[in-house]
Amino acid sequence: EYAGQILDALERLLAAKPFTELTMDDIARQSGLSRSALYFYFASKEAALGALHQRTYAAMARTTDPLTQAGDATEASMRRAIDEVCRNWREHTAALRTFHETAMVSPDFRERWDDPASRERLLDLVRRVEREPALLGVSPHLLAVGRR
């Protein structure tokens, strides 16, 4: 529960201030916890950002689960998944921006950002659409043109 409270506070702070300017004191104050309590859950602000990254991307990945796991690849389910991904991007804009910026300067964080499992899930979805372009109401010809 407290870990989630800390991550929520970090995400709110990222909307107002760059990650490089944040301190553990800022995060503790925003989360309503003591600094020592914060350190019980996260050894550093980078560790907290890593946990926020995991939580955010797990939520985003779940939006495509019905398409990749249950085989529910109808046009309506594809559109719902796309809408949900877009909603997640809007909801987590500051965090996503921070993940991208941090990955550009931190090799350790870049490794987390470049998650092969997430990339493979996306590729599976793209392959499905390529095999069944009618799912998105796109003609096979249009997909072929888009790949050139």
Confidence of residue 108 (pLDDT cuts 50, 70, 90): confident
Pick the more confident residue, 46 or 74. 46
* Beta carbons within 8 Å of 99's beta carbon, 6+ residues apart: 49, 53, 56, 109, 113
Q: Residue 75 in contact with residue 136, Cβ under 8 Å?
A: yes
* Least confident range of 68-72, 101-105, 114-118, 144-148: 144-148
Question: For residue 18, which phi and psi values (nearest 5 degrees)?
Answer: -65, 145
Determine the pLDDT at residue 57.
85
At 99, the amino acid letter reads F
Q: How far apart are CA 60 and CA 64, in angstroms?
A: 8
Average pLDDT for 82-101: 88
Confidence of residue 146 (pLDDT cuts 50, 70, 90): very low
The confidence score (pLDDT) of residue 100 equals 86
Tell me the whole-structure pTM to 2 decimals.
0.74
pLDDT of amino acid 135: 57
Query: Percentage of the chain with pLDDT > 70?
Result: 72
Tokens 């104050």 locate to 29
Q: Is the pLDDT of residue 79 over 50?
A: yes
